[in-house]
Amino acid sequence: MEVLKVSAKSQPKSVAGAIAAVLREKGAVEVQAVGAGAVNQSVKSIAIARGYVAPNGIDLVCIPAFSKISIDDEERTAIKFQLESR
């Protein structure tokens, strides 16, 4: 599954476009975010992407979960959003 990493500085419309493109191509995508700002941008992006794919008959479903990732040899907790079409 393709993983998109979102930062607090990511533009929600750009991330939403990437989410929509991967969803149309592969049917699923994972979005990872570390920190409150990144999670905020991710949620906004998911809401926008849902509007992008709805006219194509794609019902975007989001499954949130915690994930451990390594950044600079340091373990951090990330939030991952598994996005699927139903």
| Alpha-carbon torsion (10, 11, 14, 17), positive or negative | positive
CATH assignment at residue 25? 3.30.110.20
pLDDT in tens, the chain (86 residues): 899 999 999 999 999 999 999 999 999 999 999 999 999 999 999 999 999 999 999 999 999 999 999 989 999 999 999 999 98
Task: Convert 6-42 to b/e letters by CB count within 10 Å (16 or more is b).
Answer: beeebebeebbebbbebbeeeeebbbbbbeeebbebb
Domain that holds residue 62: 2-85
What confidence score (pLDDT) does residue 1 get? 84
| pTM across the whole model | 0.93
User: How many domains does one find in the chain?
Assistant: 1
Residue 71: predicted pLDDT: 87
- What residues pair up with 60 in beta bridges, in sequence order? 85
Q: What is the pLDDT of residue 6?
A: 97
